[in-house]
Chains A and B, each alone.
Chain A
């Protein structure tokens, strides 16, 4: 009995710990300006979409959402194009220097992007990539690629090579067998890592702020505009950032678990 009580107290404490800031952000984002600055009110008299509307349409928020999505999609596409074969090779083949390569990939994760950002903008200015969607996408690819290589390699090593060999014995080429046998089996994990990559790109703010001036991704745009605005705008911006990520996680939580589950093997 006592154990049960403590269990529920713990559950409530953890829920409150994580949910309070989110609830407060959402509340503040939809609170009218006069209620927000009224010290005697916590619960607003009514809810308003005014801040969100202004942010989206008067301050070009929708434009940066599109840019954010573009950047993320290009970055994911490029990372998977390069990272998937690399991850497959890491999982299936033995070759000289495999450990060294693995370690190097891991090391790149430990270098903060902000360190790379300044040299990067210098190069970008020379080749004409500064302030472009592609430029940010390339920088995000550099951030996502090591993650994709490591995760896909652990996903592929979780799938028995005999499935693929059986495909080859029964009439497929190696590549066909990869596409028709291994890929469908890896799909849940791959989908999860794609979504995780999306969120990594969606949340990245420093590089995007440094590399662009007019073509800003959503977080960079918010950092630039909302920081100079009243508080309720900041909260509305927070909602804009959080909602897509939350929706993604909600629909894909099963796959996310499977991704980490496989990688823990």
Chain B
């Protein structure tokens, strides 16, 4: 068990800044998810913590021990790889027990812990098989069992569910989360899947272009995204962004853009702003802020319907409403949203404006 502290970590591959000054603290026993698009540096950050990647500058501490320049084997970490990396020339039993064998534990102790770990992952009956005789899901369980057999200080997971089919992924998601809570092991989990991030992480660290964008709980990141990147990356379908001009007549302030007028209570202090509104917050019918839109495409998920429509000046807007609805292409609909649900951003810095 350990608290992980990362200080101003940088990793350059030639001109490419894979990590550009990451500072992050992970509490003891916390489940932290690194979330971001491909190439954002999340895997590089994980590999830097593991020691498989050396860093250009900055420091990594486990509790108060500086591990920045230690070899992976001296960091007391374990890892679940994307490809599972279950050694094909060893039986499941030997795969799980190998970390203990390397560290010189006695045979009885290894046997005991292997049984315990296999039991945790429900793979007791597979111990005498070779990995080639296992399915992808079973191999993954072996990889996790191997990772927990030795009470690591930090458990690292690199997109462990991305190679599983959709059904199994949902099942493993909750199982892994439960397992982590039971063991209380500090965990860093890399994924590009926001559903995984939302459901599993105690906190989520959103990354882009080698920089941390926002670190917070799922709720904080969803309700108070700090910039347009986080706002657009979290949530599906993506948040609508409308450019609007601020018109103030002293008593009240109205944001005007794309033919939609949004009255707000406090002046953002900028002539122009970007208004963000999530599709699930735009409903049908009249409301606080209403507007007309022309439907051009719908996606029916049955539990909900995603409406793609255009505003009067041609700007596309997406709405998601619960239930199964039918629309014709070209049909005119009235939509509305509540001003409580909008997010304001500075168009130049793309940062959130608090109102």
Q: Which residues of A contact B (CB under 8 A)?
A: 160, 162-163, 165-174, 181, 184-185
Contacts and interface: CB of A to CB of B under 8 A. Distances in A.
Contacts of A163: 85, 87-88
A168 B52 contact: yes
A28 to B, nearest CB: 47
Interface residues of B, number: 23
Nearest to B149: A170
Rank and list the top 10 A-B pairs by shortest CB-CB distance, nearest first.
A171-B102, A162-B85, A170-B99, A166-B85, A169-B79, A162-B81, A168-B72, A171-B73, A169-B72, A162-B83
A185 B99 contact: no
Contacts of A184: 89
B103 to A, nearest CB: 6
Given A165-B52, A166-B79, A168-B52, A173 B73 contact: yes
B85 A165 contact: yes
Which of B50, B81, B103 has most A Cβ within 10 Å?
B81
B71 interface: yes
B69 to A, nearest CB: 15
Interface of A (DSSP majority class): helix
A165 B98 contact: no
A172 B102 contact: yes
Interface string B239-255: 00000000000000000
Nearest to A94: B13
B48 interface: no
A171 B85 contact: no
Interface in B55-107: 71-73, 77-79, 81-83, 85, 87-89, 98-99, 102-103
A60 B150 CA distance: 63
B146 interface: yes
A84 to B, nearest CB: 19
A185 B88 contact: yes
Given A173-B73, A184-B89, 20 more contacts: A162-B81, A163-B87, A165-B52, A165-B79, A165-B81, A165-B85, A166-B85, A168-B72, A168-B73, A169-B51, A169-B77, A169-B79, A170-B146, A172-B73, A172-B102, A173-B71, A174-B71, A181-B87, A185-B87, A185-B89
A165 B77 CA distance: 12
B193 to A, nearest CB: 20
14 contacts: A160-B83, A162-B83, A162-B85, A163-B87, A166-B79, A166-B87, A169-B51, A169-B72, A169-B78, A171-B73, A172-B73, A173-B71, A173-B73, A174-B71
Interface in B334-354: none
Contacts of A174: 71
A168 B102 CA distance: 11
Contact of B71 (A166, A168, A181): A168
Contacts of B71: 168, 173-174
Nearest to B99: A170
A162 B163 CA distance: 15
Nearest to B95: A166
A162 B73 contact: no
Contacts of B146: 170
Contact of B81 (A166, A171, A172, A173): A166
A169 B51 CA distance: 8
A169 B73 contact: yes
Nearest to B77: A169
Contact of A162 (B77, B82, B89, B102): B82
A170 B78 contact: yes
Contacts of B156: 169
Interface string B182-195: 00000000000000
Contacts of A181: 87
Contacts of B102: 170-172
A224 B11 CA distance: 64
A174 B88 CA distance: 19
A191 to B, nearest CB: 14
A173 to B, nearest CB: 6
A210 to B, nearest CB: 44
Nearest to A164: B85
A160 B131 CA distance: 15
B29 to A, nearest CB: 20
A181 B98 CA distance: 11
B103 A171 contact: yes
Nearest to A187: B89
Nearest to B52: A165
A234 B288 CA distance: 103
Interface core residue of A162, A163, A171 (most chain B CB under 10 Å): A171
A64 to B, nearest CB: 40
Contacts of B98: 170
Contacts of A173: 71, 73
Nearest to A161: B85
A162 to B, nearest CB: 4
Interface string B4-18: 000000000000000
A169 B82 CA distance: 14
A89 B79 CA distance: 25
B50 A169 contact: yes
B175 to A, nearest CB: 21
Contacts of A166: 79, 81, 85, 87
Contacts of A167: 87
Contacts of A169: 50-52, 72-73, 77-79, 156
Nearest to A163: B85
B91 to A, nearest CB: 14
